[in-house]
Amino acid sequence: MSADLTGRVALVTGASRGLGFEIAKRLAAGGATVWLNGRDETALAQAAQAIGAGAKALAFDIGDDEATRAAFQKIAGESGLDILVDNVGNRDRRSFGQLDRAAMQAMLAINLVAPFDLARRAVPLMRERGYGRIVNITSIAAEIARGDVAYTASKGGLAALTRGLAAELGPDGITVNAVAPGYFATEANAAMVADPAIAGYLGRRTSLGRWGEPDEIAGAVAFLASAEAAYITGQTLAVDGGYLTHF
Ligand SMILES: NC(=O)c1ccc[n+]([C@@H]2O[C@H](COP(=O)([O-])OP(=O)(O)OC[C@H]3O[C@@H](n4cnc5c(N)ncnc54)[C@H](OP(=O)(O)O)[C@@H]3O)[C@@H](O)[C@H]2O)c1
């Protein structure tokens, strides 16, 4: 069963693969028209075709101001927008000592400034339609840390942006929430998924004792995007197999 999203229009960033693809698939299964975003047009067209009815490819780099403006002009002209899922998230696993100002700025540009800018562009369209849902994909790294300082800071910032936007957009009836994934067996994590030591670690470290399957993120996002979540805002829902609560 999918949350009922009949007649809604969503934009999911980074939807050509991984968690974004699964989220877009679930929103479309719920009845939404879904704009799938990514930079590679071919991969995006294949993803949209795989989802089928309701899926539309919209290639642009979320770090590119002009491309983002043009994409929103297209969305405004063709469909309007009810739901924004900020799923793109860059990683930089280098240690603190290897990072410089430019690396930090590049991380914040994609993981924090772009979601701010996408929300800025999406909110007027949501107001027009009298319905608005923003779901930011953060990480357990928004709350706890193992290093990865640039990524960790960017996700903590995105969690704070979620709360700030929720406070400011509440009077419009627009809700803003975050979903924080734990360890998911996506393509981006293929090397770690193949490592039995990591599987053993997750066996001990998570309550459910395993990696998350990519499609297991999607129900939480679909719920928060639906009318049923109308009185939930400013929250972060961890979808992490119990990682954050397991001692
Ligand atoms: N996987 C996990 O275990 C995990 C854990 C915690 C948090 N997360 C978070 O969950 C989100 C998704 O993770 P994932 O592992 O599914 O990611 P992924 O497999 O690396 O997918 C990234 C997606 O984003 C697109 N993309 C990258 N940069 C872009 C840009 N500048 N503009 C537009 N699209 C862009 C990629 O397509 P193109 O390359 O064609 O642009 C692709 O569709 C991220 O925010 C990540 O931090 C994931």
Report the residue among 11, 13, 19 best suited for mutation to probe ligand 1: largest number of ligand atoms under 8 A from its CB: 19
Enter the DSSP assignment of 196: H
CB 119 within 8 A of CB 160: no
Distance of CA 142 to the CA centre of its chain: 13
For ligand 1, atom 30, name the residue with the nearest CA.
61
Distance CA 166, CA 139 (A): 18
Ligand 1 center to 198 CA (angstroms):
21
Distance CA 211, CA 187 (A): 13
Q: What is the pLDDT of residues 127-148, one digit of tens each?
A: 999 999 999 999 999 999 998 9
> What atom of ligand 1 comes closest to residue 111's alpha carbon?
45
pLDDT at 2: 75
For ligand 1, atom 17, name the residue with the nearest CA.
18
% pLDDT > 70, the chain: 100
Domains delineated in the chain: 9-185+214-241 (3.40.50.720)
Structure tokens at 194: 């193949």
Structure tokens at 13: 């960033």
Structure tokens at 122: 């999406």
Structure tokens at 235: 């929250």
For ligand 1, atom 3, name the residue with the nearest CA.
184
Ligand 1 center to 63 CA (angstroms):
13
Q: Rounded to 10 degrees, what is the CA torsion of 237, 238, 241, 247?
A: -120
> What atom of ligand 1 comes closest to residue 18's alpha carbon?
16
What is this structure's pTM?
Answer: 0.98
Q: Which of 19, 37, 29, 77 is nearest to 8 (CA)?
A: 29
Distance CA 240, CA 243 (A): 5
Distance CA 67, CA 129 (A): 24
Give the mean pLDDT per block of 10 residues along the chain (247 residues).
91 98 98 98 98 97 98 98 98 94 98 98 98 98 95 98 98 98 96 95 96 98 98 98 97
Indicate if ligand 1 lies below 6 Å from the C-beta of 223. Answer: no
Indicate if ligand 1 lies below 6 Å from the C-beta of 35. Answer: no
DSSP 80-141: --SEEEE---------GGG--HHHHHHHHIIIIIHHHHHHHHHHHHHHHHT-EEEEEE--GG
Ligand 1 center to 167 CA (angstroms):
27
Q: What is the pLDDT of residues 71-119, one digit of tens each?
A: 999 999 999 999 999 999 999 989 999 999 999 999 999 999 999 999 9
Q: In the chain, which ranges are E strands?
A: 9-12, 33-38, 55-59, 83-86, 132-137, 174-181, 236-239
Residue 148's SS3 state is: coil
